Chains A and B, each alone.
Chain A
Amino acid sequence: MARTARLARAPLPRLLAVPGILALLFLVLPLAALVARVEWRTLWADVTTPAAVSALGLSLGTALVATLLCVVVGVPLAILIARARSSVASVLRVLVTIPLVLPPMVGGVALLFLYGGSSPVGEWLDRAGLALPFTTAAVVMAQVFVALPFLVISVEGAVRTAGTDYERTAAALGAGRWMTLRRVTLPLAADGIVAGVILCFARAIGEFGATALFAGNAPGVTQTMPLAIYTAFNGSGIGQGPAVALALLLLVTVLVVLLVVRGWRPGRMS
């Protein structure tokens, strides 16, 4: 292939490479240690046990539904925050960030306090036959609770950076509010939406603490991959082989999903 001219790289202090590589190693080495423990002989058998398959299916299903819910309610919230007065926006941003700093366990407890049978809301749900705790729906709710902030913050930043000039131009050209949203606001925030969806999905599929407390660990109903892995590690009489195999399966699955999402751009239409 013929060489093409390239711009000189931006000048950076070479020393930046040292902490940068340290950071990378810090992230990659534990994964390598994990992969090193994989027992390749039994790998296939371990990941195809009915329990593993059902946990993977449940994880993918709940994380996808949770991500979808996050997009449906999170993108509008992000746009509202981005276009709110700055005082209102900063309050809203803090509110949205709280679940991020809360230990997920505490989030699970909080969800249980709100929707559990001991609260008025929970009682009402019970009577309506819609008791939430320890159901698959509870898994999704726990995931939405911990993943939504990632999506909102990412999208809000993108919408705010895009500014209002293009929207005003669209309005001046006669576009209504919905057309402006669909053809200008959302496409301009596409990169932020994709990044938000990736973060949101990754957080949802890895969710453990809130799920454990609010949804429990019932195989086939609420036992997602992280809970299955935890159970495998703690399980009496079971070796670490299956646990590591499950972890690897989760890792690969998430990587595949993220690669697919990266190629996608919402709102791009002719």
Chain B
Amino acid sequence: MTENKINVLVITVCAALLFLMIGMIGTASAALTIAANNDRLKIDFFYHGSTLTFTGVSDQGTDLIIKIAAPGGHQLLRKKGKVAGVLWMNVGELKFDHVPSLYSLHSTKKISDILSGEEQARHLIGYESLGKQTDIQPVANESDKTKWFDEFVKYKKASKLFAESEGDISLRVNAGEQHYYVSSPWPYQAAPGEYFVTVYAVKDKKVVATADTKVLVEQAGLVKSFASMAKNSAALYGVISIAAALVAGFGVGLIFRRGGGAH
């Protein structure tokens, strides 16, 4: 009796374990993971941007797109235009809404080849879909809006905050699993804040799975102290800046007088 009971128990446990393992394999094959080698970037005095690598596992046979974006916010920019027909000057301001301050894409192949336009728009992938959801004020009409959105992308690209590098995610199949890897230059121009990194698994021109992670950029040490002092103790900061300049100017003057006396 007891032996039988033990046998039943062993069989039940084994069956349960097997079931669990099958279940795990099942989820693993449908899962998509993402991890950053560094998800907390500290801006200190010697910060000059960074290079992040994103790795993970995806279903075999899926293509991948990685999107890095700051939450869509509000940005005010000056626009240049022609005055009196010949002179280029600032002719007012444009307000951009619902558009990320940083936006970068990586993919295994050319995005238009692996994802339909509809799906791109749904997941905000590509400048075209970004342009559709962006609100620009004031613009005269749709073509004016398109023109200024293109200028916006150009401006962002110049400051390295918008970037597109198609076909740079590398894939490797190991023990039946597809591992991916991409290295992404992180611009020092990116302001402190929270950035969202999303990986999209794509099959038959459709997104079949997504996974995300975050990258936090924050000021640290003296950079943080100076930045917060400039903002929160503005008067003291101003006085210290002036005093330091006076002392430096006077100090160098004294040094030169001694030097000057010698020759």
A joins B in a complex: no
Binding site for B on A (CB under 8 A): none
